[in-house]
Amino acid sequence: MDVISVIRTKRDRGELSPEQIDWVIDAYTRGDVADEQMSALAMAILLNGMNRTEIARWTAAMIASGERMDFSSLSRPTADKHSTGGVGDKITLPLAPLVAACGAAVPQLSGRGLGHTGGTLDKLESIPGWRARISNAEMLDVLESTGAVICAAGDGLAPADKKLYALRDVTGTVEAIPLIASSIMSKKIAEGTGSLVLDVKVGSGAFMKTVEDARELAATMVGLGTDHGVRTVALLTDMATPLGLTAGNALEVRESVEVLAGGGPADVVELTLALAREMLTAAGLPDADPAKALADGSAMDVWRRMIAAQGGDPDAALPVARERQVVTAPASGVLTRLDAYDIGVAAWRLGAGRARKEDVVQAGAGVELHAKPGDVVTAGQPLLTLHTDTPEKFDYALESLTASYDIAPAGTEFTPAPIVLDRVG
């Protein structure tokens, strides 16, 4: 077996054999296949796709590259959630402690930013002292004591995915449906959760731009989970507009705490509750009331214990960027579009994301939104505020915002898209 023949098979639109898939995943994990060679194969997969048999085998090979976890010793049923990535998508932060407050255990293995989308671990690392990396034993301890944990996958869990995940981020191959599905499901299946709810984003700020593509990805992942004995459902949710009013690491943590305190933007609260209900039902707790857990402060209590259990200080001040620049509305009227992708690119360019695997993100960088589609705006009022420690990045970020919004004449009727577009599984 050699990597060139594997690349050529997929380059020429052929079907990879089980032996080819097993070999190339194992060889890449061991370092016998170089990054540039796997980059070529990933691009061939992006351009030519994989059938269900190939995706299933690719996922199984990723799982087999490492260990599998076991949460059967926990006193609670387990439920996990995964988002395919969006702009302003801070939902995991309030969701995990909320579901835990309702009686489930949430072993949330999360990742870092991919392209223009933010990463949960990058956000939480803006909290002073908080650690993304904990041992399996610590993870079990935190789950038993608090009910929720958000952390990085250990080195032993699907190590092939860890390498490939970082490579996809910097080679323009993030959007490949087979690679998205296998990346997500290899970690989630190896993680050992009893049930899984997928938040599959749709729209300009998502990797899936159309409902049809999102439904294909959702069905692929639901099938993979079901085949491995994990109760799996997926919600297709709107990502044409950023979620909430912030895109950036510390900015989104601050907004998540507002949600846990009983406030926060309506769209973030709505989606958090919708996903919580799906997770609790999948975990066998359909009668639990997540809205009550937000209102009575029990979700906030879990958040504080969860952050402290991983070394973080829930009372510490969050980082603030040194420089700001305001973008004002050029006309009066009704804001009818605020493009999620453009906002995500601006946040990335301001320092909230990475251009290379080794880049360090800025905790305070990002974009703050002062209006959402449907809001009435007045010429000259603040529309966006850009945050960064490096003011030379402002012009580069502003380039992505030149056509990022539309303002219609006053009196224009506008009906926002629903947050939840469909359900699969």
Between CA 52 and CA 397 the distance in angstroms is 39
Between CA 387 and CA 378 the distance in angstroms is 22
**Strand, helix or coil for residue 97:** helix
Cβ atoms of residues 367 and 241 within 8 Å: no
Q: Of 39, 83, 182, 183, which is the active-site residue?
A: 183
- The torsion of the CA quartet 165, 166, 167, 169, rounded to 10 degrees, works out to 90
The catalytic position among 168, 215, 277, 349 is 168
Active site residue 161: yes
Set 161, 199, 339, 342: catalytic member: 161
**DSSP symbol at 346:** H
What DSSP designation does 250 have? H
Q: How far apart are CA 21 and CA 3, in angstroms?
A: 10
Task: Decide: helix, strand or coil at residue 289.
Answer: coil
**Environment class of residue 64 by beta-carbon count within 10 Å: exposed (0-12), middle (13-18) or buried (19+)?**
middle
List of residues 6+ apart from 194 with CB closer than 8 A:
71, 77, 78, 79, 230, 231, 283
Which of these is catalytic: 81, 187, 231, 393?
187
d(CA 250, CA 320): 7
Pairing between β-strand 80-83 and β-strand 195-202 as defined by DSSP bridges = parallel
Return the axis-axis angle of helices 177-191 and 211-227, rounded to nearest 10°: 30
User: Which residues have C-beta within 8 Å of that of residue 238, sequence separation ≥ 6?
Assistant: 201, 202, 203, 417, 418, 419, 420, 421
Told to judge if 422 belongs to the known catalytic residues of this protein, a careful annotator would answer no
Which residue shows structure tokens 């915002």?
A: 401
Contact status, residue 214 vs residue 202, Cβ threshold 8 Å = yes
Q: Which of 242, 198, 208 is nearest to 423 (CA)?
A: 198
* Marked catalytic residue, from 82, 163, 201, 215: 82
Structure tokens at 327: 């973008």
Please say if 81 is a catalytic residue: no
Told to judge if 112 belongs to the known catalytic residues of this protein, a careful annotator would answer no
Q: From the CB of residue 286, how many other CB atoms can be counted at a distance below 10 Å? A: 9
- Residues in the chain, how many? 425
Question: Could you tell me the two tokens for 337?
Answer: 């579009």
Distance CA 398, CA 325 (A): 10
12 is catalytic: no
Which amino acids are annotated catalytic?
82, 161, 168, 183, 187
